[in-house]
């Protein structure tokens, strides 16, 4: 193992538009975020799973100390031990096993192998910056809704309304983890519904007029860009998923024989499991792309490596290349297209909302009812795919009206 960094290199590392890493060797690197903060991280694998541990912040933790911690951690890994678990136990002995910080760190560790590094760093940074300074050392069972709201108000005062709502969601998941592990009895974040300043709803441009939908589908059929992008564009109108959920689509979640796509909660925006019944047309797209990308984890991998999904801007860039402006159509607009037309055509609104993976107000009910209306949703998804084929050919736009 060859050390690569020097104190001079680290001191001269300046923030960029996106977080970036400076590798030191042995899996350790310095993560420099967009504000110039520098975090020591070690990526490692244990029992076939990728994990990440933090060694602290530079310059509080200097290069020499970080390397010492790396050496100790790698010795633990070589012995089959998990350095994150060892540190967690040591920290619990000092800070108390029931503190919000300890419980949150455990929850983060559980997700480290499921999230992308970007997501893991984003959630960790938000909890570290916005919650730990005020609630981190408090027993998780003693934190009240008023305590949590005070922390969230500080975020609101900065004008970061969407961040405040996201942090409330993260805290809610930490409280629910504390309940599951016997260290709390209730999720106080639920008491704050309606307490935060609402975020202005973002409307995504979408084509909903039948004739223009047909034109768009024909334009997609004629797309001349990357084959993987073309397949993603063909599948997008058929499955109602958010662009981020589509681009991270994993072969392991798809059952071609049962014509079903079961997405686990951790891969969905709203942290609820989701089922996508696959129409014959969707299956056709998947079977066509399988020989191209089926030997990797993602349906739609990056053009640089099959180990990462396509860029989040790929589909919107493709639509721009096809002549559709951001005010006309977006990748997210395929959901609005389906919702608008299916409602106008008389389909059950509850079935439509469930297929869009919209979370209802009762979170407990939503967690258990992700398979609700499934038979009707299967019928609807096939009818919708047939309807789109009709629009592509210029057929009767009311061909799938219910009743």
- For the chain, the structural domain boundaries read 1-95, 96-201, 210-393
Per CATH, the architecture of 1-95 is what? Answer: 2-Layer Sandwich (3.30)
Residue 59: asked if its preceding bond is cis (omega within 30°), the reply is yes
* Options 67, 335, 341, 378, the catalytic residue: 335
Q: Considering the chain, what percentage of its residues have pLDDT values greater than 70? A: 90
* Options 242, 267, 373, 392, the catalytic residue: 242
Q: CA distances (Å), 315 to each of 81, 217, 229, in order?
A: 42, 14, 7
Known catalytic membership, residue 111: no
The CATH fold of domain 210-393: hpI Integrase; Chain A (1.10.443)
* Options 211, 368, 393, 402, the catalytic residue: 368
CATH number of 96-201: 1.10.150.130
DSSP letters, 208-238, are -SHHHHHHHHHHHHT--S-HHHHHHHHHHHH
From the list 324, 162, 159, 143, the residue with the least C-alpha distance to 233 is: 324
Instruction: State pTM to two decimals.
Output: 0.53
DSSP letters, 57-90, are EETTS-HHHHHHHHHHHHHHHHTT--HHHHHHHH
Q: How confident is the model at residue 402 (pLDDT cuts 50, 70, 90)?
A: low
* Options 4, 211, 218, 269, the catalytic residue: 269
Query: Can you tell me the distance from the alpha carbon of 31 to that of 121, in angstroms, rounded to the nearest whole number?
Result: 9
Known catalytic membership, residue 332: yes
In tens, the pLDDT along 169-222 reads: 999 999 999 999 998 999 999 999 889 988 765 568 899 999 999 999 999 999
Query: Is residue 260 helix, strand or coil?
Result: strand
Q: How many CB atoms lie within 10 A of CB 12?
A: 8
Strand 254-255 to 260-263 pairing: antiparallel
Query: What's the pLDDT at 366?
Result: 43
Known catalytic membership, residue 274: no
Known catalytic membership, residue 269: yes
* Options 358, 393, 401, 402, the catalytic residue: 358
The two tokens of residue 350 are 């509850």
Query: Can you tell me the distance from the alpha carbon of 20 to that of 31, in angstroms, rounded to the nearest whole number?
Result: 6
Give the gyration radius of the chain's Cα atoms: 24
pLDDT higher than threshold 50 for residue 363:
no
């Amino acid at each position: 193992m060859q050390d690569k960094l020097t104190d001079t290199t680290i001191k001269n590392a300046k923030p960029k538009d996106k977080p970036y890493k400076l590798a030191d060797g042995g899996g350790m690197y310095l993560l420099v975020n967009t504000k110039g903060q520098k975090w020591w991280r070690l990526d490692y694998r244990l029992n076939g799973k990728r994990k990440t541990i933090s060694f602290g912040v530079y310059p509080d933790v200097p290069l020499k100390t970080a390397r010492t911690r790396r050496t100790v951690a790698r010795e633990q890994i070589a012995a089959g031990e998990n350095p994150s678990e060892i540190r967690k136990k040591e920290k619990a002995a000092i800070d108390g096993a029931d503190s919000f910080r300890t419980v949150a760190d455990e929850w983060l560790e559980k997700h480290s192998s499921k999230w992308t590094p970007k997501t893991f760093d984003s959630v960790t940074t938000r909890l570290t910056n916005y919650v730990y300074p005020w609630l981190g050392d408090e027993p998780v069972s003693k934190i009240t809704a008023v305590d949590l709201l005070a922390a969230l108000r500080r975020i609101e005062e900065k004008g970061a309304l969407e961040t405040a709502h996201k942090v409330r969601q993260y805290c809610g998941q930490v409280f629910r983890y504390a309940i599951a592990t016997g260290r709390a009895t209730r999720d106080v974040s639920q008491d704050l519904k309606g307490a935060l300043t609402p975020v202005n709803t973002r409307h995504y441009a979408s084509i909903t007029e039948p004739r223009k939908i047909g034109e768009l589908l024909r334009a997609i059929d004629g797309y001349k860009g990357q084959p993987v992008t073309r397949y993603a564009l063909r599948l997008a109108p058929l499955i109602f998923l958010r662009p981020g959920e589509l681009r991270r689509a994993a072969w392991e979640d798809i059952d071609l024989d049962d014509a079903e796509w079961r997405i686990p909660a951790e891969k969905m925006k709203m942290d609820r499991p989701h089922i996508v019944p696959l129409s014959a047309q969707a299956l056709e797209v998947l079977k066509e792309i399988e020989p191209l990308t089926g030997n990797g984890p993602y349906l739609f991998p990056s053009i640089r490596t099959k180990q990462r999904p396509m860029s989040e801007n790929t589909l919107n860039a493709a639509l721009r290349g096809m002549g559709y402006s951001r005010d006309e159509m977006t990748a997210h607009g395929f959901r609005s297209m389906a919702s608008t037309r299916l409602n106008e055509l008389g389909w059950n609104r509850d079935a439509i909302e469930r297929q869009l993976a919209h979370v209802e107000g009762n979170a407990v009910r939503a967690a258990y009812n992700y398979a609700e209306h499934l038979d009707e949703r299967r019928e609807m998804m096939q009818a919708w795919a047939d309807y789109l084929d009709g629009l592509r050919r210029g057929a009767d736009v009311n061909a799938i009206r219910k009743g």
